């Protein structure tokens, strides 16, 4: 009997999916062809004719490959929106809306070196509320079947977005402020990273971890 898995593997030739997903697709198609072949054989069809008829189910492997990739890509795009961007934007908006509200209500930042660029700025009540926002982001992301890094990405988007922003404006500072020494810029960047990326990012990820614990403690119905 034909090795159907090897046959499909040869015909589909390196599906650009993850290794596990590509193997699953090939295994599923091979099983289908094998079932068809066995059914034909059970009806008394000769082996060579049964192989020919089973193989005839796919007139163009190139088209099948394209259709499978298109279907998988559609899913990938849908998943990316529901697992990453929607929860990420919810955490981003919530985190900074809350900070704006706190500032409006008169919250003042704690600063390690007031007035200096190396000063670390800390809005303590805001930082303490971030685990809750991170947990909400993690919940939304997991509800869309996300796992692993996707959940952490969605929950910590407020910190990641600012981190990327700071790294992008650093080269720009060499253009607009060429007279400021490099070490001053480096210190200021480090302070910004700690104040707005590392500490908030840690608080948001703490929320993800707490949400994971809660998820594990809720018994499945």
Partner 1 sequence: MIRTELKRGTAELAILSVLEQQPLHGYEISRHIEQDSGGALRFTLAALYPLLYRMENRGWVRGEWETSDNGRRRRCYKLLPRGRKMLAPLRAEWADLFRAMRRVAKVNHA
Give contact residues for partner 1 (rule: CB under 8 A). Answer: 24-25, 27-29, 31-33, 35-36, 39, 57-60, 63-64, 67-68, 70-72, 74-75, 78-79
Beta bridge partners of 122: 110
Shortest distance in whole angstroms from residue 87 CB to partner 1: 17
Distance between CA atoms of residues 12 and 32, nearest Å:
15
3-class secondary-structure state, position 121: strand
Shortest distance in whole angstroms from residue 70 CB to partner 1: 7
Shortest distance in whole angstroms from residue 32 CB to partner 1: 5
Residue 150 or 157: which CB sits closer to partner 1?
Answer: 150
Burial class (CB in 10 A: 0-12, 13-18, 19+), 170: middle
Residue 27 or 198: which CB sits closer to partner 1?
Answer: 27
Residue 143 or 214: which CB sits closer to partner 1?
Answer: 143
Distance between CA atoms of residues 141 and 127, nearest Å:
21
Beta bridge partners of 121: 111
Beta-carbon count within 10 A of 217 CB? 7
Residue 31 or 164: which CB sits closer to partner 1?
Answer: 31
Shortest distance in whole angstroms from residue 218 CB to partner 1: 21
């Amino acid at each position: 009997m034909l090795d159907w898995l090897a046959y499909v593997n040869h015909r589909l030739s390196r599906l650009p999916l993850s290794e596990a997903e590509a193997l699953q697709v090939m295994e599923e198609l091979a099983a289908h062809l094998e079932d068809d072949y066995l059914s034909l054989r059970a009806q008394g069809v000769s082996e060579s004719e049964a192989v020919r008829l089973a193989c005839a189910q796919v007139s163009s492997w190139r088209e099948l490959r394209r259709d499978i990739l298109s279907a998988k890509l559609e899913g990938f795009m849908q998943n990316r929106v529901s697992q990453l961007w929607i929860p990420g934007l919810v955490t981003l908006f919530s985190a900074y809306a809350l900070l704006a509200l706190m500032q409006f209500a008169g919250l003042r930042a704690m600063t390690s070196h007031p007035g200096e660029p190396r000063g670390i700025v800390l809005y303590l009540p805001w930082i303490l509320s971030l685990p809750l926002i991170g947990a909400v982001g993690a919940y939304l992301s997991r509800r869309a079947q996300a796992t692993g890094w996707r959940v952490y990405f969605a929950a910590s988007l407020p910190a990641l977005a600012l981190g990327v922003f700071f790294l992008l404006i650093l080269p720009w500072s060499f253009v607009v402020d060429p007279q400021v020494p490099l070490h001053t810029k480096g210190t200021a960047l480090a302070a910004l990273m700690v104040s707005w990326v590392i500490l908030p990012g840690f608080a948001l990820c703490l929320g993800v971890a707490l949400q994971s614990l809660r998820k594990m403690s809720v018994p499945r119905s």
